[in-house]
Structure 1
Amino acid sequence: MVQHKKGPQASVVSPGVIAEPFKGEEPAVGWGRYLLRFVTPSGWRELKRDFMTAVKTGFAIAKFRNRQPGFGMAAFREDALALYTEVCSALAAGDHSVLRQAATPKHYINLKKQLAARQGGGWAHVAWGLAEQPSQNDVHLLQARLLMMDPKDEKYAYGQFTVRFWTSHTFAAYDARGKLVAGDPVRPLPVQDVWVLERALLPGPLGRWRAAAQISLPAAADAAALH
């Protein structure tokens, strides 16, 4: 919060919280599973949840189309992939300067902790790369939310888009002597990452998407997504 004479007002940097974090609950796939939702109480609750998710996501996207010149889902997916690569590369290199710009202040603290834990575990050097260049089809929007810090002022509104990235990485960690201690520099590893990307609704100095959180899915949802 930033204190002014008229009282506390929202910071324009980041809200610092995630609105309705994604919990791994996705709409039913297939007619059989979908129709079952009409005959059970839990199914009706799931239908209501899916409907509200679709409404809120549509509202957030519509707001960005109206307020952000040139905004569209194709452009968003390109920005998301660029940000994903930027953050992963900076993490591997331990580049705090890039991470400060590419992540929200709160998430940057989490990334610093990851780097500190890595160093404490004896990882002196990390080699990371994309085994294959991902496409827009590898970026799946799970939900979008509009967070209004001040309901009467869109200057303090933020979009938080939760995205699943399907990628293939090469990853290897080495100790101070150059000995491989984790990963494999050659063997690609399929990876599923769920990130929250955040951006101010109105164009301005912070007019770029930034990484706001990394979501850990429940084990059941994670396993189901890989099949």
Structure 2
Amino acid sequence: MSGLLTNTLSIIGKSIQSRPGYVLAASQVDLVRNISKHWNPKFKKERKAKVIKVDLPDSRNEDEITEDERRSMMKKRGLYPPRPWMETGFVLACTGAIFEAYVPPEGDGKFSPVTATGMKQNVLAIGKKTTSMMAIRKIKSYVDDFNAKDFADEARDIYIKAHKALAEKDFENLRDYVTEKVYSEMKHNISNKQIRWTFIESLEPARIVRARNTSISSKDNPYGQLTVRFHTKQTLAIYDRFGRLMHGSEFVAKDVLEYIVFERHLSNEYGKWRIHGKIIPSWQAPKEPTAVTGVKPAVIEEVQKTSQDSKLETPAIAASDAKSQETPATI
């Protein structure tokens, strides 16, 4: 037995002496095969990122989960508890309506101030100026550089810029001249339409006919509204989506009498006057409705008939095509 062991060891020793490269290669392969870690330690974070811990969902029903467990689960995920009521969003930059709207005198703009009717209108207007003067005094307490006479020119510039932006569909600049309440209304009214509007001149200087202020949610959050009377000459033409004239004309100028309400968030240091609405008097004659484009009934009937005829002809054409495919062509 000892002789066999010595013979084996001698054979192994001779093979190592004669071929040392094979034995070294085999030992290296075995060493690399048994190593369980990456040889370069700088990729430790990358190897760690391969493993992702996943939170498995709870297989239980909602009735089986207690309130404490649900609360702890929501805290773990960073969720707020659900509320039983639905909150509606509101905008603090403007109010939602015109408070104490101005009622224009009947026939305004038609009577001269020299006539008896015109003098009566002026006397009634003077009697209602007390509340407006108090409101203007309140506005001056928040806006130091406010002047009622200078504001008429400022309101005229805002009026022109807002209508130019509306005609050009420049909605980004339109936000600077109208409030959020009027912005949605203006944008909706010009959908699928093209507007050509020009301001020619002012027939009468713009003037403030009413001033009001109110507070929302607290006394430290006031809003001011000024109603300005505009008597101007303008041109307006409205085209539909096909380029056909719906209303007005680009060449015929008309006299326009309007009562525009301007609003400002007084407690906001960076607030500015913007168009908030338009007052339409009840005694004003209704305007002509715009012509809405559409498809004539006769054209609809013709389209329906042609569609029915095409449905009847298609089976016969398909049958003839099938027969032509079945019979080979002969020369």
Q: Taking structure 2 as the reference length, what is the TM-score of the superposition? A: 0.50
1:88 alignment partner in structure 2 = 163
2:141 alignment partner in structure 1 = 66
- Aligned mates of 1:16, 1:146 — CA distance in 2: 14
Letter of the aligned partner of 1:204 in structure 2?
A: E
Partners of 2:205 and 2:231 within 8 A in 1? yes
Q: Using the TM superposition, give the Cα deviation of residue 32 of structure 1 relative to its aligned residue in structure 2, in angstroms.
A: 6.3
Query: 1:93-149: CA deviations, max 9, x gaps?
Result: 222222222211112122122123xx2xxx3x22110122x38x4212121101122
Q: Which residue of 74, 94, 97 maps to 1:17?
A: 97
Computed over aligned residues only, the root mean square deviation of the Cα atoms, in angstroms, reads: 3.3
Q: Which residue of 130, 149, 167 maps to 2:216?
A: 149
Q: Which residue of 127, 136, 140 maps to 2:196?
A: 127
Q: Using the TM superposition, give the Cα deviation of residue 215 of structure 1 relative to its aligned residue in structure 2, in angstroms.
A: 0.9
1:78 alignment partner in structure 2 = 153
- The higher relative CO (CA closer than 8 Å, separation ≥ 6) is in 1
Among the aligned pairs, what percent are the same residue?
Answer: 28
Partners of 2:148 and 2:208 within 8 A in 1? no
Higher CA-based Rg? 2
- Aligned mates of 2:119, 2:241 — CA distance in 1: 57
Q: Structure 1 pair 151/59, CA: closer, same or farther in 2 (3 Å)?
A: farther
1:217 alignment partner in structure 2 = 281
What are the residue-to-residue correspondences of 1:26-37 with 2, within 5 Å? none
Match status 1:188 vs 2:253: yes
Q: Using the TM superposition, give the Cα deviation of residue 219 of structure 1 relative to its aligned residue in structure 2, in angstroms.
A: 1.9
Q: Structure 1 pair 14/187, CA: closer, same or farther in 2 (3 Å)?
A: same
Q: Structure 1 pair 172/11, CA: closer, same or farther in 2 (3 Å)?
A: closer
2:265 alignment partner in structure 1 = 200
What residue ranges of structure 2 are gaps of 5+ in the alignment? 1-89, 287-331
- Aligned mates of 2:183, 2:114 — CA distance in 1: 39
- Aligned mates of 2:180, 2:227 — CA distance in 1: 18
2:26 alignment partner in structure 1 = none
Q: Structure 1 pair 143/24, CA: closer, same or farther in 2 (3 Å)?
A: same
SS at match of 1:17: coil
SS at match of 2:98: coil
2:207 alignment partner in structure 1 = 140
Q: Using the TM superposition, give the Cα deviation of residue 180 of structure 1 relative to its aligned residue in structure 2, in angstroms.
A: 3.6
- Aligned mates of 2:155, 2:205 — CA distance in 1: 11
Q: Of Structure 1 and Structure 2, which has the larger fraction of its residues in strand?
A: 1
Q: Taking structure 1 as the reference length, what is the TM-score of the superposition? A: 0.71
SS at match of 1:113: helix
SS at match of 1:190: strand
Work out the number of aligned pairs and report it. 191
Partners of 2:152 and 2:228 within 8 A in 1? no
Partners of 2:196 and 2:238 within 8 A in 1? yes
